[in-house]
Amino acid sequence: EPEVTQTPSHQVTQMGQEVILRCVPISNHLYFYWYRQILGQKVEFLVSFYNNEISEKSEIFDDQFSVERPDGSNFTLKIRSTKLEDSAMYFCASIMGIAKNIQYFGAGTRLSVL
């Protein structure tokens, strides 16, 4: 069964450094998402992406965050200058289309900011 792949599984970085989290959505999917889960808390929506542009973003997704789909297969989340509070699990998800309503999640990337 096709799946969403995220790399790396665990990323450790120093505060102030830039990180890029990578995702390979399911190949025929058109809509892409990033969610965040701080340890022990609920999963929160960050951003949705369609047709090479952001469809919606939450208040969490400030100017430090950016997303892009550089080559038609990867979908990346960049955090420009990481803060301690960015430490969390980051999930990528994808969906085929509006009528196909199941979001498939990757296994997540655990980001630890020291």
Partner 1 sequence: AQTVTQSQPEMSVQEAETVTLSCTYDTSESDYYLFWYKQPPSRQMILVIRQEAYKQQNATENRFSVNFQKAAKSFSLKISDSQLGDAAMYFCAYRITNFGNEKLTFGTGTRLTIIP
Q: Which residues bind partner 1 (CB under 8 A)?
A: 31, 33, 35, 37, 41-45, 48, 50, 55-56, 89, 91, 93, 95, 98, 101-108, 110
| Closest CB 26 distance from partner 1, rounded Å | 13
Q: CB nearer to partner 1: give 84 or 102.
A: 102
Query: What does each C-alpha distance from 6 to 16, 52, 63, 78, 94 come to in angstroms?
Result: 23, 19, 23, 14, 12
| Closest CB 52 distance from partner 1, rounded Å | 14
**Which amino acid, 113?**
V
Token output for 11: 């990323």
Please tell me what DSSP assigns to residue 60: T
| Closest CB 15 distance from partner 1, rounded Å | 23
